[in-house]
Structure formats: C-alpha cells, structure tokens
Structure 1
C-alpha cells in the first residue's frame, strides 16, 4: 500500500535521476562557444571523428576553426586557444619590430653601442615572438568565452589568464619575463635621463662639477621616482603625462631634428667606433672616416637617436594596448586593431630609421653627431625627458596586471610600491654598472612587450 506522500517522494526522486542514453548516464554536452551548429550536429561514430563540414568563408577562417576544434583543451569552464595559433599576427609583429629595430640600430653598430646589438636583437626577438603569440591567444580566448572580461580591466588578470592558457609552470616564466621588461624599460629611462641631466648641468653651470656624483645622484633619484610613480602618485602623474607630454614632445622633436639638419659640421667619433672600424677594416664600406682620428669621448650625443628609437617602440606599444582594450567590446574588431597596431609600429620605426639615415648621410658614414649648438643640445635634453612618460605609462600598465581581481577599482598603492621597489633597484644597478649597455638593454627589452 502506498500513500500519496510516498508517490510524491518517488516522483521527486525520479526527477533527480539523470536520464539515460544507451545504458550510460547522461552527461551535459561541452560548451563549444562560437562553434557553428552544423559541426555540433554532425553525427559521429565512437572511436572515429568525422571531419568538419566545409563552411562558407575564407580558407583562413576555416583553418582557425579546425585548429580550435582539434587543439582545444578539455576545460569546460575556460578552454584556452593555444598560443601557437597566433602565427600570422606573431610573424607580422616580429617582422615589423625587427625591421624597425634593425633600421634604428644598424647606424649605432659603428658607434659606442658596438656589435653587441647584432647579438642581443635576435635574442630578445625570440622573446617577442612568445610574448606576442601568448597575448594574441589570450585575447582570442577572452573575446570568445567571457563577456565580463571585456570591461576594460582584463589586463589586470593577465597572470590568471596565462595560468589557464599555458599552465602554472610556464605562466611563472611569462610573469618573470614581463617584470624583466619593466626592469629594462626603467633602466633605459634612468640611463638616458640621467645622462641628459648631467650634460644639461654641464652646459648651464659656470663652475665644473664632478659629473660622476651627479650621475649617481640622478640614478638614485629616478629610481625612487619610479617606485612612487607606480604607487602613490600614479594617477596624477599618468594624467598630466598624457595631457602635456605629447604636444611638448612633438614640438621639441621638430626643433631637435631641424637643429640637427642645420648642423653641417663634421661629427667626431668615439674610441669604440675607431677601434671597430680599424679591426674590421670598414673604412671602404662606410666612406671617409678621417674625422674619427680627431674624435673626442662624447657618448651623450648618441643617446638622442637611441631615445628616438625607444620612443617609437614604446609609443607603438601603448597604442597597441589601448586599441585592444578599447575594441574588446567588439570581438570582430580585434584582428583589425592588432593589424593597425602592427602597421603603426612598423610605420613609426620606418620613419625613425629613414630620418636617422637622412640626417647621417651627409656626414660620409660618420654616425656620431656632436651637438655643438648649445640651444639644440638643451632642446634635445628636454625632448628626451618628456618622451619618457610613454615608457612610464607602459610600465604602470604592466604592473597593474599583478593587482588582485578583487581589488580592481581600488588603488592599492603600497602593494604596488612593494613590487616596484626591487624592480627599481635592479634597474638602478644596471644604470650604475652598465651605463654604456643600459640604453641597448632597455631598447631590446622593450621589444619583449
């Protein structure tokens, strides 16, 4: 005999039992995201996977769709697109960066930077390949799977994204690489600005001063500034840098290039350039180098052209990050934004390289310019200092990735400062120990972004 309460309880239990299919317990189908329904409805035989039907569209769309179905990870919550799928964007980005870097760096191979540029550039280029591919794949994953990540703060969760995309072990390598990029950026800023301030003081002070102590003081001061910039004063500094730096930098760059083009005096070279030219017998290749025999030791002048190259790299990097963040609400625009970012970076580097060659060509291959005109040198110093705001903004963006997700929207100033302190210490050590290689390390380090 059954009671109404028993029947109701049995009916409730029957509703809790999952339906059966072919004698097996029912399991909900995995979430395939934007996969076309024709692929999901394609019949399959156990042990045999049928090929995906041919869909309408270009061959590149079909290739990406096939790769996504073949190599998608079995994570029903957050399946990741492998980093190796961004081959087109990675190759274009690498080609643009290395082309522009080569145009900017080749003239300096005969100056005080030396032939080490030919070694370090490919090394950091490999790092750029991995970083660009990982960033592209993470963006694809986010735009496909998570609507809430498109609210302009996905970059604060980069560590978690990398952990899910490539695993916890490799994500630590990625995290260390990005912190190393911050160190490289800060090192180049410290070296260039410190050298500019030292030379500026030498121009305006009537009494000779021990420039070594001035340089060390500038290195320490700028290291402290970067710690404060990434923490307590980041909001205000970033705002005023964005408002003032760009127009001032453009005006000073026009003044600087006009002054360089009007300087028709033969430049004097450094001791390193003279040694390199004699060692490799490059006199017949680069033209008349008679002016090098009377060269003087002046490495500050070469920093201005290095700053032009660094400005191009980092300005393109900031624009690329801004475009991606702005267009994340419209996933179809991501490819267009990435393409414009690569094209803009290549164009900026091309302009810088052509400008350098146009300026250096009348000097018969002598690639070191001495700014004998006092006003031109002062303008160059101010230009160098104002352009470094872009690097600071980019480093602050990278450090923002290490903020906790639950703290988004809050300025965790002292936690950010604790992260920045050891990075600034390393950058200051590079600036003190390797003042000649510092700009090169910072330049190629920015490639890894």
Structure 2
C-alpha cells in the first residue's frame, strides 16, 4: 500500500510538472492594416516551439507550447501573404498583431475600381435575372433535431414537396412557400419548454435571402453599415466576406424577431460566392455571435405565453448552396444551426441550453405536379403534431447523411429509452388528424 501511494505521488508530481510546462500560450488577433479588419482563416506557425494554429472568423488564434519564451517568431501565411514577425509573449491577454496584406490580383483581375461592396450590390440587383421568375415545386428532404442540455432529442424527418409561389407584387419577398408532406417520421418529442414550439420548416425557408431579401442580411437598406472585403478571386467567381457589428438577421427561432427588435443582440460575419459571368449568388454563409455588451435587462425576451423563461442568444450558423438549372439558380441545400440559453424567470438560473439543427436538401425541381398532391399543401405543415403512417420501405433510399453530427451519436441518445423505429411508429399513431 505504501509503495502504491509513493508511486501515485511520483506520478502526480510528474503530471503536475508537465501541466506547468504546458501552460505557456499566446492568444493573438490578426489585423489587416489596409482596412483595420480581422484576418480570418490565416495559418500561423511558431517553428521554434513547434506550434501552429488557424485564425477563426474574428482573426483570433491560440498557440500552446511547453518551453518558456519571452518572445517568439511567427510565420504568417495567407493568400498572397507570407511574412515573419516577432511577437512579445503575453499570456494574460490577447495580443493584436498588425499585418500588411494588400489587395490580391489574380489572373489579371484588378480589384481596384470595382470594390467588394459594389460587386455584392450588383449581385443583389441581378437576383431577378439569375433566379426563377415563375412558380415551381421542389421535392426536398427536411431534417431537424435538437441538442438539449448535452443530449440529442426531437428528431423529425420529412420527404416533402415545397411549392414556391412567385409573388410579383413584392420585390423583397419574391416567393411564398407552401408545403406538402408525403412521408414523415419523428421520434417522441420532449417539449421541455411546454408552451414554446414553433414551426421550424417555415422559418428555415425564410432564411433564404434570395426569396426573402427584405428580412435578410442582404437587404439593400442594411448594407451601409457593413464592411466588405475580397477573400479570394478565382477565374470564374468572387468570394467576398462581410462583417457587421451590433446587427444581425439571425432570428434563432423567434417568430416575432423583427417586431421585438432583437437585431442588435448579435454581430455577424458572412461570405458570398458570386459567379463573375452573371453575378449569380452561388453560396451564402452567415455566422452570428452574441454581442457580449448587449443587455437583455430591458428586452422583451420572455418566452410566451407562459413567461416562465427568458431566452438569450449565443451563436448561429447558416449555409445556403445554390445550383444552376437551365440558366437559373435554385436553392440546393440549406443548413441552419443556432444555440439559445433559457433562464428561469424567478431565479435567472440556466434551465436549458438548446442547439437546434436544420438540414434541407433539394432533390428535384418541377413545374408540374399531380392534382392529388396539389390538394395536400399547407402554409404551415406542423410537422411536430400531425398524424402519419410510418412506412419503413420509403426510408431505405435517398436519405441524406447527417451533416452537423454523426448519425451514430445522434441515434445513441435518441434510443436511450426505446428503439427508434418504435418511436417512429408510436409518434405517428399519436399525432393529430390533418384538417380536411
């Protein structure tokens, strides 16, 4: 016993010495002196201590190493940039590192004279020409699931048909959506907040700035406060980043987001891929982060109608890919994820932390549809409540993979209480009948 204790003590001492040596670190933020903007996704190496990192969306990176060093030499690599810079090590705060990265010229394309902002504005103005100008149908796969207090819950999957109805009277909301649900399956739903749940499918479609420009981050009236810069220029496309402080269109599941004026609770960064030939938007990405200085004290952030909880936003991420079909660009894939924190009103202690994931895949486009299916469309599909017959054979093929988390990990949590197939069957039988 004494030997075991002595060995354990020696191991603890060794681990203690190792952890002390591993504490040296450098947190830095790369700033471009050309425009005073953070430099995201830049590779930073410290060869002398064999450490490396990649800066995040805010230009921030962290290096860890074991040796003591009062100063360190960094090698910084990005598109058109390769420099070495000596930095004094300060482990108590983030060090700002100013880098001179000039505008990039690739394949004879000169950025000067046509700014990143002008290209974005031209692309937005070209939306009526580059996207469909008439109604159409999309056969689409929809998936949503939650990560609640450390466990995956509430999986819903639907084989759906979305009717995109062209609204020629509204330039900022060019399409209205309606939904038919030929096939549906869901696990048993845990309504942790009781009286709080919305229709997530409708909200997901509203994130598409091409169809709903007026409430998006690309609304022309909102662009004045943005900072745009070129990320990369290819022979056939531009990749442009933007940043907006103290404003975001990320509604994080709140249906009356604009009415209660929550846009100032977050800041956001975004990236657009725009084809040079016709200025069509090929990809749109948006990341939103809670503004740490935003105070909810006077905000109307009660969860209605019960007012038992308040809600505070943490972060959100949206990706939309577009695909060209016969000269027009259609949404091909929409991925949306956001995290909220809910607090008890009386104690203000954390009750729940929700991360909600949504995946939408456009599997076919058509301008015609059967009359039988045409009578099954609803403006709000209400996937969490309707009754359905579960048909396993309909789910054997063309089920897209999980994109945010591995399917095995999600299913392991979902099947903690009962097999998932049993939940699919039981949830369909217990649902509500659709109205005639």
Q: TM-score when scaled to structure 2?
A: 0.22
**Larger proportion of strand:** 2
**Larger proportion of helix:** 1
Question: Of the two structures, which has the highest relative contact order with CA contacts closer than 8 Å and spacing of 6 or more?
Answer: 1
Q: TM-score when scaled to structure 1?
A: 0.22
Bigger radius of gyration: 1
